[in-house]
Amino acid sequence: MSHRVGAGYARGVHFGRALGVAVVAFVTVAAAGSGLAALPSAGNSVCVTPWTPDASRQLGDADVSLRPLPFGTVCTYGVSGTRTEIVHGPSAAAFVAWLGVVAAVVAVALRFRKFAAARGLLMAACTLGLLGYLWHLVDFDAAAMGTVLLGIPIAYAVDRALCSKGRSRTMSALVAIVLPPAVVAVWVPPGFLDVEVIAAIVALSAGALVSGALARLPAGPSADTSGPSVA
């Protein structure tokens, strides 16, 4: 009887953990994917130019609002009855495609979580998603600075959640400090040239390379030496 109870409890714990991982993965895909999808349409003061997209007529001042899903900026021109809306955000197809990219990144990070490069891939995706959100709210300089600063705790949390118990907190902190600015910096050249797919590939690769390279540094004291020492 006690054996059955123990087995049932173990199955319940396993199911609870699996459900928790699934929920966190879903939230990560939705949040990071939405921000990453919004990144190509972001820009400095996108509602300032008071013209139609084909520059055929002047529209006047704009009311600026945010579209939550897919995330983007909505510029509303004119008065009641003659209002024109221009949305700076991803199409439905682009939104779904970017969600698929982040879902694949999350799957890789979970499957190969013991490898620092896989964790860096997910940290980079979260960093780009954050940049996409912030650039729709403020100009690029402020968005980049905010991404670098806010990306540190996000990257640290990702690394600690996925790494082995033997991973030094100091190494996780080092990765969290170095990775966000590196990802933003390498995204800028192709991103500003409007080659969004290449920019994303370069930035995601940079995250994997930075995390993998830092994992090769001599490990500091481990907070928990009971588990295997895997970078």
- Please determine, for residue 208, whether its predicted confidence score (pLDDT) is greater than 90: yes
Query: pLDDT by residue (tens digit) across 5-59?
Result: 555 545 655 556 667 778 888 989 999 999 999 999 888 877 876 655 555 555 5
Cα–Cα nearest to 123, from 67, 205, 61? 205
- Please determine, for residue 72, whether its predicted confidence score (pLDDT) is greater than 70: yes
pTM of the model: 0.81
Q: What is the pLDDT of residue 209?
A: 95
Q: How does DSSP assign 59-103, residue by residue?
A: ---EEEEEEETTEEEEEEESSTTS-EEEEES--HHHHHHHHHHHH
Instruction: Indicate the pLDDT class of residue 224, thresholds 50, 70 and 90.
Output: very low
The winner for highest mean pLDDT among 20-29, 57-66, 142-151, 168-177 is 142-151
- Please determine, for residue 177, whether its predicted confidence score (pLDDT) is greater than 60: yes
Say which residue, 76 or 49, is predicted with more confidence. Answer: 76
Instruction: Indicate the pLDDT class of residue 228, thresholds 50, 70 and 90.
Output: very low
Say which residue, 106 or 13, is predicted with more confidence. Answer: 106
Instruction: Indicate the pLDDT class of residue 229, thresholds 50, 70 and 90.
Output: very low
Listed in sequence order, the residues at least 6 apart from 60 whose beta carbon sits closer than 8 Å to its beta carbon are 50, 77, 78
Domain ranges of the chain: 2-43+91-215
**Residue 73: strand pairing partners:** 66, 88
Instruction: Indicate the pLDDT class of residue 156, thresholds 50, 70 and 90.
Output: very high
Q: What is the DSSP letter of 58?
A: B
Give percent above pLDDT 90 in the chain: 52
AA identity, residue 25: A
Cα angle value 161/148/75 (rounded, 5°): 110
Q: What is the pLDDT of residue 151?
A: 95
Instruction: Indicate the pLDDT class of residue 194, thresholds 50, 70 and 90.
Output: confident
Instruction: Indicate the pLDDT class of residue 77, thresholds 50, 70 and 90.
Output: confident
Round the average pLDDT of the chain to a whole number and report it.
83
